[in-house]
Structure 1
Amino acid sequence: MSQNPLITDAPCGVLLIDKEPDMTSHDAVAICRRQLKFKKIGHCGTLDPMATGLLMLVIGKATKIQDLLMSEDKEYTGTMTLGITTGSQDKESDIVEEKEVPPFTDEEIDAAFKKYVGPFEQTPPMVSAIKKNGVPLYKLARKGIEVERKARAVYVTDYEITRTAVPEVDFKVNCSKGFYVRTYAHDIGQDLGCGAHLSALRRTRSGKFTVDRAMTAADLKTATAEDIKNSLISLAEISLMRGA
């Protein structure tokens, strides 16, 4: 009996997307499903709408390694703005508090970052996809409801402050799965005594995958099914990349 050609030709692999601002992770999946006319597509790790950078889509049989890919360390570049605290810990919500920003030295700012190296606990923000009794926290936050969140273990392996122009501080951070860069910025601002929020974010790496290999969001929107298939990273290549 001959095989069903739809099964034989089913796309399989990982597609790297350079997400644009205001696009959700779900948007990227929906566009890819439409272009491929194929439903079995997921994503590895949500990026907030304001964030840009690496979003990994798993297609076909590659969905079986979704959890494995999501568990790997990430690298982000970002900007925190000192002196302004917001409800969501980023620029996407209302200002909660404003404080004057002292004339910090580079050493003082570096000392605040240095506190968050190695393993530590982080309390997830209310505006997050974590669920409480089956309801995402961000839906509760929209209703003005705040609930207790469990702190969870995360870690930072390395960081770099790339620009200081108070009130803005640009940085790069290498971190674990489940790390909230918004909370990182917020907590550093609290330690400095003036507050802070995350005003820009870009994911540049996830595990062995980097954004410089990614298809732009604009190209994804106009890509043919063949374009997408030709851009897929195969399961065999992923196995070699990971040393499996």
Structure 2
Amino acid sequence: MDGIILIDKPLGYTSHDIVGKVRRVLHTKKVGHCGTLDPEASGVLVVCVNKATKALQFLTSEDKHYVATIKLGISTDTYDMTGVIQNQVPYRYDLTLDKVEHVLAKFKGKQKQMPPMYSAIKVNGKKLYEYARAGETVEIQPRDIEIYSIECAAFKEDEIHMKVHCSKGTYIRSLCVDIAEALGYPGCMSALKRTQSGPFKLEDCVSLEALENNQYEMIALDDALAHLPSLTIEDEKIVYHGKTIDSALEGQIAIKNKDGHILAIYEQTGNHTLKNVRGLW
């Protein structure tokens, strides 16, 4: 049994918890996930099973879609509602929908983002949240991200509900804090749901209950990687022996046999030659 299962991760579960449940249901140890979701976040979690785990790096999408809620007037050390309150001010009833939309529009595009201290980013081999829990300080470098689109879905007093389409590596918690600051308030994220990861959408996910009742469909690896450009070869030995392929194709390329089965992922070397990055047979 090889392939991908799309899970609608509920609140309160870590991504690793979901992997554990899939292992128990499918009676296999070889399970991994793409794109971590915090326990306070729900939504699309791409889970790979058995041979599909070889393709994890190619299924960790470059772009994600979220719906999130900003709570104005409260800031915490974790940038969400689970943290210790650092600042709290009453809502002044001074914002309008036009002003909120105007500020949100300023966050569209390429930019530098400072990740939250309570994150799994490693500095000197140690995760940031480990420094934070130990009360230690460490220099954090801003990261390059891109917000492709951002819009206000609803606005009522001290809460802003927004839809965000962003690049991989974007921290929505940091985005919420930065937007609140631009509006003149301390703020944090109070809700988050991932609605799409690359080509994988929330409506195609199954619940944990459905998973445990064996009510799910597994996506074949060939179908899961269908979004990649592809190249069909006649002689499969080229792939099995790790030989290069002459081609001007750019990016990650799915190399297929005559039957349409993906044998490996190749990448451009820069001189019109593709090299084998990962075999998938």
| Equivalent residue, structure 1, for 2:33 | 43
Summarize the alignment of residues 177-192 of structure 1 with structure 2, pairs less than 5 Å apart.
Answer: 177-192=168-183
Structure 2: gaps (5+ residues):
231-281
| Equivalent residue, structure 1, for 2:200 | 209
Q: Which of 132, 135, 143 pairs up with 1:144?
A: 135
| Equivalent residue, structure 2, for 1:234 | 220
Question: What is the RMSD of the two structures over their aligned residues, measured on CA atoms?
Answer: 1.4
**Structure with a larger share of its residues in helix:** 1
Distance 1:77 1:48 in 2: 14
Q: Which of 183, 195, 215 pairs up with 2:186?
A: 195
Q: Residues 163 and 169 of structure 1 are in contact (CA less than 8 Å); yes or no, is this contact kept in structure 2?
A: yes
Q: Which of 111, 122, 128 pairs up with 1:120?
A: 111
Deviations 1:100-142 (A, max 9, x none): 3332011211122111111001011010011122222112212
TM-score, structure 2 as length reference? 0.78
**Structure with a larger share of its residues in strand:** 2
Q: Residues 100 and 194 of structure 1 are in contact (CA less than 8 Å); yes or no, is this contact kept in structure 2?
A: no
Distance 2:54 2:4 in 1: 11
Q: Residues 126 and 146 of structure 1 are in contact (CA less than 8 Å); yes or no, is this contact kept in structure 2?
A: no
Distance 2:66 2:229 in 1: 24
| Equivalent residue, structure 2, for 1:82 | 72
SS in 2 for 1:90: coil
Which structure's CA Rg is the greater one?
2
Distance 1:155 1:85 in 2: 24
SS in 2 for 1:54: strand
Moved more, 127-136 or 51-60: 127-136
| Equivalent residue, structure 1, for 2:61 | 71
TM-score, structure 1 as length reference? 0.89
Counterpart residue identity of residue 28, structure 1: I
* Residue correspondences, number: 229
1:18 Cα deviation from its structure 2 partner: 0.3
| Equivalent residue, structure 2, for 1:8 | none
1:46 Cα deviation from its structure 2 partner: 0.7
| Equivalent residue, structure 2, for 1:3 | none
Say whether residues 1:29 and 2:19 are aligned partners.
yes
Say whether residues 1:52 and 2:38 are aligned partners.
no
| Equivalent residue, structure 1, for 2:258 | none
Q: Which of 98, 104, 110 pairs up with 1:107?
A: 98
Identical residues among aligned pairs (%): 39
1:62 Cα deviation from its structure 2 partner: 1.4
1:53 Cα deviation from its structure 2 partner: 0.5
